[in-house]
Amino acid sequence: MTQQSQITSAETQLFLETLRRFLEVEVSPYYEEWEKAEIFPRTLWNKLGENGFLCVDQPVEYGGYGVSFELSCAIVDEVSRAGFAALASSISVHSDIVAPYIGNLGTESQKQEWLPKMVTGEVVGAIGMTEPGAGSDLQSIKMTAIKDGDDYQINGQKTFITNGQHCDVIILATKTDVNLGARGMSLFVVDCKKPGFQRGRNLEKMGLHSGDTSEVFLDDVRVSSRDILGGEGKGFSNLMNELPRERLILGISCVGAAQGAFDLAVDYVLQRQAFGQAIAAFQHTRYKLAELKTRIELSRALAEKYVQKFMAGELSSAEASMLKLAASEMQGEVVDQCLQMFGGYGYMKEYRISRAYVDARIQRIYGGTSEIMKELISRSIVDVR
């Protein structure tokens, strides 16, 4: 992999201004329509790719910019802050989970086949870990990939798959040996056009309505040993090694979304009148804003620190879990308090703060629940297993 190139602060700001204009023109006018349809159009992926907003930190030889991971973080932060949480989630899965898995674990052939098309948006990526009976406990998955000559046959079901309706390639966690526990788990890169791959329904969710979240079913899907990602039997360890980036980017999206909700609340309390004065004039309102701003900045500071550690190859799983725990809990509480400032209007769907509220709830669940984060953090302090 080539050395990542650095971009200046001025270049970053110019890039983010371009992203903001893109969101204003290509997303904002249609987002409510997509929320009602419970999916955004497949063509949006192509537009994101055409404008250079996908997989930006992938190496130049695979179509990316080869820039710092910080720019990828900035994209997720900006889209989250703009109030498009479902889009931010879809982009982060594609660019910050699936692409790095292939980039870090894939063979040269796998990287050449998938990464350039992921950069352009021609190919949409998804990852299949969760199953109906296995969430955070990945060792309990039931999907199998049984060797059949030089090939493997994959059977099983995955659920809660972000980008499940649009995906062209999916990374699947499977059991290649059901008797070996974690050592019997393997990852496969699977072309979604293969016979036997079926998409289930687009799941109805409390929030993130425009982001497709699906069930997928595999019935005797035949793949070859060339489709194994990162080595047979190494799936569990590879998942554990890649999870810190996932939880880091989730923490960043929490900070961005909380900042977006805070901005909405500040604008509202400056305009809304009560008892002859703006709500912002009340000491309670100002003090509450001060508390919320402080909490957001604390999580932002932790995120920035851990981004630097991640780029230096020093971020631990426990540290990534601490950010995910702190930022997701912070987001939930900040958005709740921001909605309260809107009074009855905060409960109305026409106000963006109500969408921010329901979108925030999943952050404490996916990517590892808050309870699982506490378990992982506690083990780094005292492991009594």
| Positions marked active-site | 246
What's phi and psi for 327, nearest 5 deg? -70, -40
| Element of type H or E holding 337 | helix 317-341
| Close Cβ partners of 164 (under 8 Å, ≥ 6 residues apart) | 126, 199, 200, 202, 212, 213, 214, 215, 216
> Which of 239, 381, 245 minimizes the C-alpha distance to 303?
245
**How does DSSP assign 27-75, residue by residue?**
ITTTHHHHHHHTS--THHHHHHHHTT-SSTTS-GGGTS--B-HHHHHHH
Phi and psi at residue 102, to the nearest 5°: -70, -40
Handedness of CA 321, 178, 168, 105 (dihedral sign): positive
Tell me the C-alpha distance between 46 and 188, whole Å: 25
Taken in order 132, 93, 126, 47, the sign of the CA dihedral is: positive
Beta bridge partners of 217: 157, 198
Rounded CA-CA distance 59/354 in Å is: 39
- Which helix or strand (DSSP H or E) is residue 224 part of? strand 213-224
Identify which of 107, 115, 140, 7 has the alpha carbon closest to the alpha carbon of residue 60. 115
